[in-house]
Amino acid sequence: MASIIIHQEKIKNPGDVLKVCPFGAIQYENGVLSISAACKMCKLCVKNGPVGAFELVEQPLVQIDKDAWRGIAVYVEHTHGEIHPVTFELIGKARELAAKIAHPVYAVFVGYQITSKAEELRHYGVDRIYVYDQPELEVFRAEPYAAAMEDFITALRPSTVLVGGTTVGRSLAPRVAAHFRTGLTADCTKLDMQPNTDLDQIRPAFGGNIMAHIRTRNHRPQFATVRYKIFSAPPRLQQPRGEIQVMYLDPERLRSGVRVLSIESKPVVENIENAEVIVAVGRGLRKEQDLELIRALAERLGGQIASTRPLIEAGWVDPRRQIGLSGRTVSPKLLITCGISGSVQFTAGMGAANFVVAINNDPQAHIFKVAHLGLVGDLYEIIPALLQQLGSGQPSQVQEHLKTVKSEVIG
């Protein structure tokens, strides 16, 4: 049993040590210090408290045999056999990780009438593709899909399983991880491999202002989910490689309490995730109508608009256009942020942008630390001036609007 033990005698001012714990887990009652259930085992009290006052006691654990688990498996996310691009990104990463420990890379493809589609995966350099192609697996349902994954894991004993952080992946991966009672780290933004096959997983924690480095040290397989567009897909190989192996599961094991009645595709909306140019706006915008200014710039640059969460909450912008931790991850070639402070929740979603320009009137704004090019100034002056530079392409309506905006700013 690992726990924190307090050596009361080494603490001179009990009242002062309460502050050491960021989670308020250290309590002082009736002259006695104790630790409550709020403790997150972050060990900061051990590190930052009075010397020797807080001690972490751990019992040595029985080590599992990590050599019994080989290979890095990627779950193939798809809709009716159309492979989601996050899959290729994960395969690229899996190859990189596997090369460090000389493990094979597997892809697991679960669905119905998909075996022919598996051919495409051979162009991305996996060693073997395991296909579960049965009518019960025609559409995604957590239990049957989890059963297929369980079957694969039991048969192949992969050391690591990577799953795309989509709604499907986030429903499937936990179910399978819980089945094997093993660790799952969600939404990793960086992955690396230790020689002992421990996966180094980095993800935003505590709402995103802090990064956590996580390992699954004594359980296999180790699961990680990664969102779309965090990693880049490897180039498609001319020469396909890797074999396809078709698996079969007793339909008894594919039973489910869920029956799908219908599936329809969502109405297509412009998708900021695929946009090459994005003009994003934040609370620096004073009112909804001023969005015209942002739209004009986006239009002129052939891009789309996006925003921070407060504008979504205000109902000014469609929620699908939110960039960030609780929004979308974007990877445009150009991202211009206007009146955005650069909270970590926001920047968590823009990590993959190639070139970031920030316009903000506060020289201290955090966005300047993450932008490639920062302009300290008023968006209500800079954007109209830029639009003027960009020339005649703008509709006259916007011109009119700019005039009113300008006069309001001055007035």
Could you give the dihedral angle defined by the CA atoms of residues 334, 335, 338 and 342, in that order, rounded to the nearest 10 degrees?
-140
Any residues with CB less than 8 A from the CB of 130 and at least 6 apart, and which? 106, 107, 108, 109, 152, 156, 245, 247
Nearer to ligand SF4, 15 or 363 (CB): 15
Cα four-point dihedral sign 371, 372, 377, 379: negative
From the list ligand SF4, ligand FAD, other proteins, none, partner contacted by residue 283 (C-beta under 5 to 8 A by kind): ligand FAD
Q: Does 244 bind other proteins (CB under 8 A)?
A: no
Pick between residue 107 and residue 365 the one whose CB is nearest to other proteins. 365
How many of the chain's residues bind other proteins (CB under 8 A)?
A: 107
Nearer to ligand FAD, 176 or 371 (CB): 371
Query: Beta partners for 69?
Result: none
The one segment of 153-161, 186-194, 241-249, 342-350 that binds ligand FAD by CB under 6 A: 342-350
Q: How far is Cα 352 from Cα 256, in angstroms, rounded to an integer?
A: 38
12 vs 266, which CB is nearer to other proteins? 266
| Binding characters for ligand FAD, 257-296, by CB under 6 A (x = yes) | -------------------------xxx------------
C-beta atoms surrounding 174 within 10 Å: 17
Q: Quick one: what does residue 182 bind among ligand SF4, ligand FAD, other proteins, none, with the CB cut-off 5 to 8 Å set by partner type?
A: other proteins
Binding status of residue 177 toward other proteins by CB under 8 A: yes
Distance CA 391, CA 403 (A): 16
In whole angstroms, the minimum distance from the beta carbon of 401 to ligand FAD comes to 16
- Strand 3-6 and strand 26-29: the pairing is unpaired
Own/partner contacts of 371-377, CB < 8 Å, gap of 24 or more, are 371/337, 371/342
Asked whether 349 and 292 are in contact (CB, 8 A), the reply is no
Question: Does 73 help bind other proteins (rule: CB under 8 A)?
Answer: no
User: Whose Cβ is closer to ligand FAD: residue 330's or residue 334's?
Assistant: 330
Looking at the Cβ atoms of 4 and 86, the one nearer to ligand SF4 is 4
Member of 92, 324, 332, 384 binding ligand FAD (CB under 6 A):
324
| Per-residue mark of binding to ligand SF4, 3-32 (x: CB under 6 A) | -x---------------xx-x-xx------
Given the complex with other proteins, which of 101 and 142 has the nearer CB atom?
A: 142
- Of other proteins, ligand SF4, ligand FAD, none, which one does residue 406 interact with (CB within 5 to 8 Å by kind)? none
Query: Smallest distance from the beta carbon of 233 to other proteins, in angstroms?
Result: 17
Compute the least distance from the CB of residue 144 to ligand FAD, in Å. Answer: 32
**Cβ neighbours of residue 57 closer than 8 Å, sequence gap 6 or more:** 2, 3, 4, 5
CB of 162 to ligand FAD, least distance (A): 23
**Nearest Cα to Cα of residue 297 among 338, 347, 236, 353:** 338
Question: Do residues 226 and 162 touch, judged by C-beta distance below 8 A?
Answer: yes
CA distance 181 to 105: 23
Tokens standing for residue 326: 């609780």
Listed in sequence order, the residues at least 6 apart from 93 whose beta carbon sits closer than 8 Å to its beta carbon are 162, 191, 226, 231
Retrieve residue 318's tokens.
Answer: 């469609």
Asked if 43 touches ligand SF4 (CB under 6 A), the answer is yes
Q: Give phi and psi for 334, each to the nearest 5.
A: -130, 130
304 binds, among ligand FAD, other proteins, ligand SF4, none (CB under 5 to 8 A by kind): none
Closest to 184 in 3D by CA, of 212, 146, 219, 232 = 219
- Contact status: 371 vs other proteins (CB under 8 A): yes
Selection from ligand FAD, other proteins, ligand SF4, none that 125 binds (CB < 5 to 8 A by kind) is none
**Which candidate, 108, 100, 186, places its Cα nearest to that of 154?**
108
Residues that bind ligand FAD in the complex, under the rule CB under 6 A: 207, 282-284, 308-310, 322-327, 339-341, 343, 345-346, 349, 359-362, 365, 378-380
Residues that bind ligand SF4 in the complex, under the rule CB under 6 A: 4, 20-21, 23, 25-26, 35, 39-45
